[in-house]
Amino acid sequence: MRKIDTNIWVHETEFKLFGAEFGNRMTVLLLRDGTLLIHSPVKIEEELVKEVMKIGNVSYIVTPNNFHGLFAEDWISKFPEAVHYTAKEDDLEKGNGRALSELNSVVSGEEIKLIKIEGAPKVNEYSIFHKASGTLILTDMAFNIGPDVPIWTKIFFKLNGALDSFGPTRLMKSAITDPEALCVSMSEILTLDFHRVIVSHGRILDIDAKENLRESFSQFYSVKSKRSAGRLSPSRCG
């Protein structure tokens, strides 16, 4: 694992999908009570578990959207005392965790803030703002794939409009069904005092993070209600 700031670590590993190398990143937060929150757990390995346990005891395992629960059960089995908070309806229906929306009332608001990103229900993603490090943690809403990747990966992400560029892929854009709701969520996120964005796939963004996030979603326009505007008119996110 790699410490990147106050009480926050990341672990990066390989992860292939559609033959392309997406990479995958797990984030670990050390809370004030000395326990850990695992965000978007990656494939479990004994050496990784040892590194995690050196920092503290795992109390929370977070599945932040509908697509990042692949390895959650392995971590739950390894840390049976931890509580699994999940965005996935399937998990909740099976009794495999608690609703992620409840996490705000469990962990002190002085440590983290959880914001659901509306407008893309198939993804159903929640962002987490870690106050001690000034870090916003996203999962699939934005990618940041660099140019130094294998050729097929380069082609794949170029076709998806996400090569060497921070922001949503074309696949993600196609999942956005309510731009107005997305804009409301992004506007709330942009009020937070962050200077870094961690994504699950690609490079961590730590230069002009807030402005880059604002710009990457500025293409989405919300539609003002007829009641307030009298007609349909666009307004930029953020």
Domains of the chain: 2-94+111-236 (3.60.15.10)
Q: How many helices (H) and strands (E) does the chain have?
A: 9, 15
Question: How many CA atoms are closer than 13 Å to the CA of 55, on its beta-carbon side?
Answer: 24
3-class DSSP assignment, residue 108: coil
Strand partners, 128: 114, 137
Span 212-235, average pLDDT: 59
Q: Quickly state the pLDDT bin for 229 (edges 50, 70, 90).
A: very low
State the angle between helix axes of 209-216 and 179-189 in degrees (0 to 180), rounded to the nearest 10.
170
pTM > 0.75:
yes
CA neighbor of 128 nearest in space, from 45, 68, 216: 68
Q: Quickly state the pLDDT bin for 148 (edges 50, 70, 90).
A: confident
Which uninterrupted H or E stretch holds 223? Answer: strand 221-223
pLDDT in tens, 81-101: 999 999 999 889 888 899 999
Candidate from 33-47, 179-193, 207-221 with smallest mean pLDDT: 207-221
